[in-house]
Structure 1
Amino acid sequence: MIDSSKVFEILEKEGFEEVDEIGYKDDIKVFNFFYTFDEAEIEAAKDYANENYDEGEGEDNWYNEFFLPYLTDIAGDNIKDIVDEICEENGLTGEFVLYEIDRDNYEQCEVTLILGEGSKEIDVDRVLNDLEL
Protein backbone atom coordinates (compact mmCIF):
# COMPACT_ATOMS: atom_id res chain seq x y z
CA MET A 1 0.00 0.00 0.00
CA ILE A 2 1.23 3.48 -0.86
CA ASP A 3 1.93 5.62 2.21
CA SER A 4 0.58 8.97 1.02
CA SER A 5 1.72 10.84 4.11
CA LYS A 6 5.30 9.63 3.61
CA VAL A 7 5.30 10.68 -0.07
CA PHE A 8 3.73 14.01 0.86
CA GLU A 9 6.43 14.56 3.49
CA ILE A 10 9.24 13.74 1.02
CA LEU A 11 7.84 16.09 -1.62
CA GLU A 12 7.62 18.94 0.87
CA LYS A 13 11.10 18.17 2.24
CA GLU A 14 12.46 18.39 -1.31
CA GLY A 15 11.14 21.93 -1.52
CA PHE A 16 8.12 21.45 -3.75
CA GLU A 17 5.37 23.95 -3.08
CA GLU A 18 1.60 23.62 -2.75
CA VAL A 19 1.75 19.82 -2.56
CA ASP A 20 -1.72 18.29 -2.79
CA GLU A 21 -2.92 14.72 -3.07
CA ILE A 22 -5.68 14.24 -5.61
CA GLY A 23 -8.06 11.41 -4.75
CA TYR A 24 -8.00 8.60 -7.30
CA LYS A 25 -7.63 4.88 -6.50
CA ASP A 26 -6.18 2.92 -3.59
CA ASP A 27 -3.37 1.41 -5.66
CA ILE A 28 -2.58 4.62 -7.59
CA LYS A 29 -1.85 7.90 -5.83
CA VAL A 30 -1.77 11.26 -7.59
CA PHE A 31 -0.03 14.36 -6.31
CA ASN A 32 0.05 17.86 -7.72
CA PHE A 33 2.72 20.41 -6.79
CA PHE A 34 4.91 23.23 -8.05
CA TYR A 35 8.63 23.14 -8.78
CA THR A 36 10.17 26.54 -8.08
CA PHE A 37 13.39 27.45 -9.85
CA ASP A 38 16.20 28.96 -7.83
CA GLU A 39 18.19 31.97 -9.05
CA ALA A 40 21.08 29.82 -10.28
CA GLU A 41 18.74 27.76 -12.49
CA ILE A 42 17.10 30.87 -13.94
CA GLU A 43 20.47 32.51 -14.58
CA ALA A 44 21.78 29.35 -16.26
CA ALA A 45 18.71 29.30 -18.53
CA LYS A 46 19.20 32.99 -19.39
CA ASP A 47 22.89 32.41 -20.16
CA TYR A 48 22.05 29.44 -22.36
CA ALA A 49 19.36 31.39 -24.22
CA ASN A 50 21.65 34.39 -24.70
CA GLU A 51 24.48 32.22 -26.04
CA ASN A 52 22.29 30.38 -28.55
CA TYR A 53 19.81 33.05 -29.55
CA ASP A 54 20.01 34.90 -32.87
CA GLU A 55 18.75 38.45 -32.30
CA GLY A 56 17.18 38.51 -35.74
CA GLU A 57 14.71 35.80 -34.74
CA GLY A 58 12.78 37.88 -32.19
CA GLU A 59 12.03 37.73 -28.49
CA ASP A 60 9.49 34.90 -28.86
CA ASN A 61 12.27 32.70 -30.22
CA TRP A 62 14.50 33.49 -27.20
CA TYR A 63 11.75 32.33 -24.83
CA ASN A 64 10.21 29.47 -26.81
CA GLU A 65 13.31 27.88 -28.31
CA PHE A 66 15.94 28.37 -25.62
CA PHE A 67 14.96 29.84 -22.24
CA LEU A 68 11.76 27.92 -21.42
CA PRO A 69 12.98 24.57 -22.81
CA TYR A 70 16.14 24.86 -20.71
CA LEU A 71 14.06 25.44 -17.58
CA THR A 72 11.82 22.51 -18.51
CA ASP A 73 14.87 20.24 -18.85
CA ILE A 74 16.24 21.35 -15.47
CA ALA A 75 12.92 20.72 -13.73
CA GLY A 76 12.41 17.39 -15.49
CA ASP A 77 15.87 16.12 -14.53
CA ASN A 78 15.56 17.19 -10.90
CA ILE A 79 12.03 15.83 -10.49
CA LYS A 80 12.98 12.53 -12.16
CA ASP A 81 15.81 12.02 -9.68
CA ILE A 82 13.47 12.58 -6.74
CA VAL A 83 10.68 10.40 -8.17
CA ASP A 84 13.19 7.60 -8.87
CA GLU A 85 14.40 7.81 -5.26
CA ILE A 86 10.83 7.72 -3.89
CA CYS A 87 10.02 4.70 -6.05
CA GLU A 88 13.19 2.78 -5.19
CA GLU A 89 12.85 3.36 -1.45
CA ASN A 90 9.15 2.45 -1.36
CA GLY A 91 8.79 -0.25 -4.03
CA LEU A 92 6.66 1.94 -6.29
CA THR A 93 6.36 2.83 -9.95
CA GLY A 94 6.17 6.50 -10.79
CA GLU A 95 5.42 8.78 -13.70
CA PHE A 96 5.10 12.54 -13.77
CA VAL A 97 3.81 15.22 -16.08
CA LEU A 98 5.56 18.56 -16.22
CA TYR A 99 3.18 21.19 -17.53
CA GLU A 100 4.26 23.85 -19.98
CA ILE A 101 5.97 26.77 -18.31
CA ASP A 102 4.26 30.12 -18.74
CA ARG A 103 6.46 32.80 -20.26
CA ASP A 104 5.03 35.39 -17.84
CA ASN A 105 5.42 33.16 -14.78
CA TYR A 106 8.58 31.18 -15.44
CA GLU A 107 9.71 31.10 -11.80
CA GLN A 108 7.85 27.84 -11.28
CA CYS A 109 6.14 25.02 -13.12
CA GLU A 110 3.27 22.73 -12.24
CA VAL A 111 3.77 18.99 -11.90
CA THR A 112 1.45 16.00 -11.53
CA LEU A 113 3.01 12.87 -10.04
CA ILE A 114 1.35 9.47 -10.39
CA LEU A 115 2.56 6.59 -8.21
CA GLY A 116 1.54 2.95 -8.48
CA GLU A 117 2.16 -0.03 -6.22
CA GLY A 118 5.03 -2.35 -7.13
CA SER A 119 5.67 -2.61 -10.83
CA LYS A 120 2.10 -1.65 -11.71
CA GLU A 121 1.95 -0.12 -15.18
CA ILE A 122 0.58 3.42 -15.09
CA ASP A 123 -1.53 4.74 -17.95
CA VAL A 124 -0.78 8.44 -17.49
CA ASP A 125 -3.26 9.61 -20.12
CA ARG A 126 -6.07 7.58 -18.58
CA VAL A 127 -5.37 8.90 -15.07
CA LEU A 128 -5.23 12.49 -16.30
CA ASN A 129 -8.43 12.03 -18.31
CA ASP A 130 -10.23 10.37 -15.40
CA LEU A 131 -9.26 13.29 -13.17
CA GLU A 132 -9.94 15.84 -15.91
CA LEU A 133 -6.44 17.30 -15.60
Structure 2
Amino acid sequence: MNNKEILEFMVDEGISNLEEINYSNDIFIIKFHYNFDEYEIKAARAFADGECNKNENRGDWYSKYYLPFLNDIARDNVEAMVDDCMDEFSLKAECLIHDIKDEEAGYSEAIAAFSEVGNSFDIETVAKAINF
Protein backbone atom coordinates (compact mmCIF):
# COMPACT_ATOMS: atom_id res chain seq x y z
CA MET A 1 0.00 0.00 0.00
CA ASN A 2 1.45 3.32 -1.08
CA ASN A 3 0.29 5.99 1.38
CA LYS A 4 1.64 8.83 -0.74
CA GLU A 5 -0.46 7.74 -3.73
CA ILE A 6 -3.54 7.53 -1.53
CA LEU A 7 -2.90 11.06 -0.23
CA GLU A 8 -2.40 12.43 -3.74
CA PHE A 9 -5.57 10.72 -4.95
CA MET A 10 -7.65 12.13 -2.11
CA VAL A 11 -6.21 15.64 -2.53
CA ASP A 12 -7.06 15.45 -6.24
CA GLU A 13 -10.64 14.66 -5.18
CA GLY A 14 -10.84 18.08 -3.54
CA ILE A 15 -10.53 17.48 0.18
CA SER A 16 -8.71 19.92 2.45
CA ASN A 17 -7.02 20.08 5.86
CA LEU A 18 -5.63 16.61 5.32
CA GLU A 19 -3.93 15.08 8.34
CA GLU A 20 -2.31 11.67 8.62
CA ILE A 21 -3.16 9.90 11.88
CA ASN A 22 -0.77 7.40 13.45
CA TYR A 23 -2.78 4.36 14.41
CA SER A 24 -1.36 1.08 13.13
CA ASN A 25 1.25 -0.13 10.66
CA ASP A 26 -1.46 -2.09 8.83
CA ILE A 27 -4.03 0.72 8.61
CA PHE A 28 -3.47 4.13 7.03
CA ILE A 29 -5.76 6.78 8.55
CA ILE A 30 -6.43 10.27 7.25
CA LYS A 31 -8.57 13.00 8.75
CA PHE A 32 -9.84 15.74 6.44
CA HIS A 33 -12.50 18.27 5.58
CA TYR A 34 -15.03 17.91 2.82
CA ASN A 35 -15.72 21.49 1.69
CA PHE A 36 -19.10 22.36 0.27
CA ASP A 37 -18.99 24.21 -3.02
CA GLU A 38 -21.31 27.08 -3.90
CA TYR A 39 -23.65 24.81 -5.88
CA GLU A 40 -24.09 22.44 -2.94
CA ILE A 41 -24.82 25.37 -0.62
CA LYS A 42 -27.35 26.79 -3.10
CA ALA A 43 -28.99 23.38 -3.50
CA ALA A 44 -29.26 22.99 0.28
CA ARG A 45 -30.83 26.44 0.59
CA ALA A 46 -33.28 25.74 -2.22
CA PHE A 47 -34.22 22.40 -0.67
CA ALA A 48 -34.73 23.94 2.77
CA ASP A 49 -36.76 26.81 1.32
CA GLY A 50 -38.96 24.36 -0.56
CA GLU A 51 -39.50 21.99 2.36
CA CYS A 52 -39.75 24.38 5.28
CA ASN A 53 -43.21 25.56 6.22
CA LYS A 54 -43.31 29.35 6.38
CA ASN A 55 -44.68 29.07 9.94
CA GLU A 56 -41.58 27.19 11.12
CA ASN A 57 -38.83 29.17 12.77
CA ARG A 58 -35.38 29.78 11.30
CA GLY A 59 -33.82 27.21 13.63
CA ASP A 60 -36.00 24.49 12.14
CA TRP A 61 -35.00 25.62 8.64
CA TYR A 62 -31.37 24.88 9.55
CA SER A 63 -31.78 21.83 11.76
CA LYS A 64 -34.49 19.95 9.86
CA TYR A 65 -33.72 20.79 6.24
CA TYR A 66 -30.55 22.74 5.43
CA LEU A 67 -27.97 20.93 7.58
CA PRO A 68 -29.34 17.41 6.94
CA PHE A 69 -29.20 18.09 3.18
CA LEU A 70 -25.55 19.16 3.45
CA ASN A 71 -24.79 16.15 5.66
CA ASP A 72 -26.24 13.83 3.02
CA ILE A 73 -24.16 15.51 0.30
CA ALA A 74 -20.97 15.17 2.36
CA ARG A 75 -21.68 11.54 3.22
CA ASP A 76 -22.46 10.59 -0.39
CA ASN A 77 -19.45 12.40 -1.83
CA VAL A 78 -16.91 11.27 0.75
CA GLU A 79 -18.09 7.67 0.45
CA ALA A 80 -17.78 7.91 -3.35
CA MET A 81 -14.24 9.35 -3.07
CA VAL A 82 -13.15 6.62 -0.68
CA ASP A 83 -14.75 3.93 -2.86
CA ASP A 84 -12.97 5.32 -5.94
CA CYS A 85 -9.66 5.29 -4.06
CA MET A 86 -10.32 1.75 -2.86
CA ASP A 87 -11.00 0.61 -6.44
CA GLU A 88 -8.03 2.52 -7.88
CA PHE A 89 -5.52 0.90 -5.53
CA SER A 90 -7.29 -2.42 -4.77
CA LEU A 91 -7.54 -1.68 -1.06
CA LYS A 92 -10.01 -2.13 1.74
CA ALA A 93 -11.32 1.25 2.88
CA GLU A 94 -13.96 2.67 5.19
CA CYS A 95 -14.90 6.20 6.14
CA LEU A 96 -16.83 8.07 8.78
CA ILE A 97 -18.23 11.57 8.37
CA HIS A 98 -19.30 13.89 11.20
CA ASP A 99 -22.56 15.73 10.72
CA ILE A 100 -22.11 19.47 10.62
CA LYS A 101 -23.75 21.28 13.50
CA ASP A 102 -22.90 24.88 12.61
CA GLU A 103 -24.40 26.39 9.48
CA GLU A 104 -21.33 28.62 9.13
CA ALA A 105 -18.80 25.77 9.03
CA GLY A 106 -18.81 25.24 5.27
CA TYR A 107 -17.36 21.74 5.60
CA SER A 108 -17.81 18.33 7.16
CA GLU A 109 -15.01 16.60 9.02
CA ALA A 110 -14.25 13.01 8.02
CA ILE A 111 -11.80 10.18 8.48
CA ALA A 112 -10.90 7.40 6.09
CA ALA A 113 -9.04 4.20 6.87
CA PHE A 114 -7.19 2.19 4.23
CA SER A 115 -5.59 -1.23 4.46
CA GLU A 116 -4.59 -4.12 2.28
CA VAL A 117 -7.45 -6.40 1.27
CA GLY A 118 -7.74 -9.14 3.87
CA ASN A 119 -6.91 -6.94 6.86
CA SER A 120 -9.77 -6.53 9.27
CA PHE A 121 -10.72 -3.32 11.07
CA ASP A 122 -13.81 -1.48 12.21
CA ILE A 123 -14.01 2.23 11.41
CA GLU A 124 -16.05 2.93 14.58
CA THR A 125 -13.32 1.35 16.72
CA VAL A 126 -10.65 3.34 14.87
CA ALA A 127 -12.64 6.58 15.29
CA LYS A 128 -13.02 6.01 19.01
CA ALA A 129 -9.31 5.22 19.42
CA ILE A 130 -8.28 8.47 17.72
CA ASN A 131 -10.97 10.55 19.47
CA PHE A 132 -12.84 11.39 16.28
1:103 shift after superposition: 2.1
Q: TM-score, normalised by structure 1?
A: 0.91
Q: Which residue of 2 aligns with 1:48?
A: 47
1:105 shift after superposition: 2.4
Q: Which residue of 2 aligns with 1:70?
A: 69
SS of residue in 1 equivalent to 2:22: strand
> Residues of 2 paired with 1:10 and 1:102: CA distance?
28
> Residues of 1 paired with 2:70 and 2:103: CA distance?
13
1:18 shift after superposition: 1.0
Segments of structure 2 that go 5 or more residues without pairing to the other structure are none
- Is contact 1:22-1:30 (8 Å) kept? yes
Task: Give 1 or 2: higher helix fraction.
Answer: 1
Report matched runs for 1:23-34 at 5 Å: 23-34=22-33
Q: Which residue of 1 aligns with 2:126?
A: 127
Q: Which residue of 1 aligns with 2:9?
A: 10
- Is contact 1:53-1:66 (8 Å) kept? yes
What RMSD in Å do the two structures reach over aligned CA positions? 1.3
How many residues are matched? 132
1:51 shift after superposition: 0.1
SS of residue in 1 equivalent to 2:23: strand
- Calculate percent identity across the aligned residue pairs: 30
Report matched runs for 1:75-94 at 5 Å: 75-94=74-93
Q: TM-score, normalised by structure 2?
A: 0.92
Post-superposition CA distance 1:28-78 (Å, at most 9, x none): 111001111111110000000000001222111111111011111111111
